[in-house]
């Protein structure tokens, strides 16, 4: 039996789950890519529906709706940028400065998909805020907190690579190989669609 997905929270409206690194958020096209977080959740909670996605390589907090009405309500919060998301990453090199923004337009690199690329002509506006948490001079790595203001595919991964600090293990974006891509969805905040109460969840970083 495939491993169960750990839950941080559950009620009649939604689930907050812990996505393991290496597991798809949603099913892929091929038969061998049907195992994913939502299909595992649906074994116990058949009404669980996807609201947002994380890359297969990323671990951390994911929000799932219970039923179509809740899916629409929660999706609207993402679309209107009312959801607070914070990621933790370990990147190669020693990042200069303590905080900043990366504002580079992104588009799919079609011949090399799912890879994305920066394109000032065709890319969609993409903004990431970053803040240094710690530096390891001996290992030549920096631990950063990331806030994706927009939610483009591979945004955090490509933005960091584009400033010369690819996420550790992210060979797709020219990092050195590692046991995993060191990107974790650490904090997730949103408003409960039924009660209107703000909720925030934190997942400890596993690397």
Q: What is the pLDDT of residues 53-90, one digit of tens each?
A: 999 999 999 999 999 999 999 999 999 999 999 999 99
Point out the catalytic residue in the list 55, 136, 170, 174: 55
Please report which confidence band the pLDDT of residue 1 belongs to, taking 50, 70 and 90 as the band edges: very low
- pLDDT average, residue stretch 36-41: 96
C-alpha span between 78 and 114 (Å, rounded):
22
Q: 133 vs 32, which has greater pLDDT?
A: 133
Whether residue 55 lies in the annotated active site: yes
What is the pTM for the complete model shown?
0.96
Contact 61, 185 (CB under 8 A): yes
Asked if pLDDT for residue 2 goes beyond 80, the answer is no
Q: Who contacts 205 (Cβ-Cβ below 8 Å, separation ≥6)?
A: 88, 184, 186
Long-range contacts of 143-147 (CB under 8 A, 24+ apart): 143/88, 143/89, 143/90, 143/91, 144/88, 144/89, 144/90, 144/91, 144/95, 145/86, 145/87, 145/88, 145/186, 146/86, 146/87, 146/88, 146/89, 147/85, 147/86, 147/87
Q: 29 vs 146, which has greater pLDDT?
A: 146
Structure tokens at 31: 């038969």
- pLDDT average, residue stretch 120-143: 98
Look at residues 167, 197, 195, 198 and name the one whose alpha carbon lies nearest to residue 183: 167
C-alpha span between 48 and 70 (Å, rounded):
10
pLDDT at 200: 98
């Amino acid at each position: 039996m495939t491993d169960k997905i750990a839950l941080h929270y559950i009620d009649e409206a939604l689930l907050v789950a812990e996505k393991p690194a290496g597991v798809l958020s949603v099913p892929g096209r091929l038969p061998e890519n049907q195992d994913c977080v939502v299909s595992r959740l649906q074994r116990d909670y058949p009404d669980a529906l996807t609201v947002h996605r994380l890359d297969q390589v990323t671990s951390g907090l994911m929000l799932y709706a219970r039923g179509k009405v809740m899916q629409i309500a929660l999706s609207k919060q993402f679309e209107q940028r009312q959801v607070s998301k914070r990621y933790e990453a370990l990147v190669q090199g020693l990042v200069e400065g303590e905080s900043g923004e990366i504002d580079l337009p992104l588009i799919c690199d079609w011949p090399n998909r799912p890879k994305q690329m920066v394109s000032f002509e065709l890319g969609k506006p993409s903004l990431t805020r970053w803040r240094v948490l710690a530096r390891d001079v001996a290992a030549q790595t920096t631990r950063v907190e990331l806030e994706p203001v927009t939610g483009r595919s591979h945004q955090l991964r490509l933005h960091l690579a584009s400033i010369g600090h690819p996420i550790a293990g992210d060979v797709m974006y020219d990092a050195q190989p590692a046991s995993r891509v060191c990107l974790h969805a650490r904090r997730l905040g949103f408003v409960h669609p039924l009660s209107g109460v703000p909720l925030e969840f934190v997942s400890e970083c596993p690397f």
